[in-house]
Structure formats: structure tokens, C-alpha cells
Amino acid sequence: MTAPMHDAEPIRVTVAPALDYFEKCPRCGYPAEAVVTARTYADGAVDRELVATCGLPCGWKSAG
């Protein structure tokens, strides 16, 4: 199961660059960029999600 533990909305959402992400786009081979979205909930739990996108506008995007 990959259902989220929280059914409430996060109280805070921050998006920051993933500076240690050095993968390449599987579609065109150009270095990809990634950001980490951190969602903080009222009980103090934090969910982090890394989403990578191609540095070129080829349209590739990876979630998870």
C-alpha cells in the first residue's frame, strides 16, 4: 500500500532544490534537475517527495 498516512492537509509545504541529485534524463540524456517537496503535518510528521524533471524541455518528469 502506498496510501498516505495522513488524510489531513499539510500545515506547511516547502519546495527546495535537490542539490544531491545527479541523474540524467532517460529520454534525452541531458542532466535532470530535481526538487524536494516537504509537507509538514499538524502532528509533526513530514512527507518528502522528490520530483525530477529534464533540464531540457523534452517533457520528461519523474515522481518518486
- Binding stretches for Zn ion (CB under 5 A): 25, 27-28, 54, 56, 58, 60
Helix (H/G/I), strand (E/B), else coil: 7: coil
Q: Determine the residue type at 64.
A: G
Our CB check for Zn ion shows the closer of 52 and 54 to be: 54
Instruction: State in angstroms the smallest separation of the CB of 48 from Zn ion.
Output: 24
Instruction: State in angstroms the smallest separation of the CB of 24 from Zn ion.
Output: 8
Give the separation between CA 8 and CA 11, rounded to whole angstroms: 9
CA torsion through residues 31, 17, 44, 11, sign:
negative
Our CB check for Zn ion shows the closer of 4 and 31 to be: 31
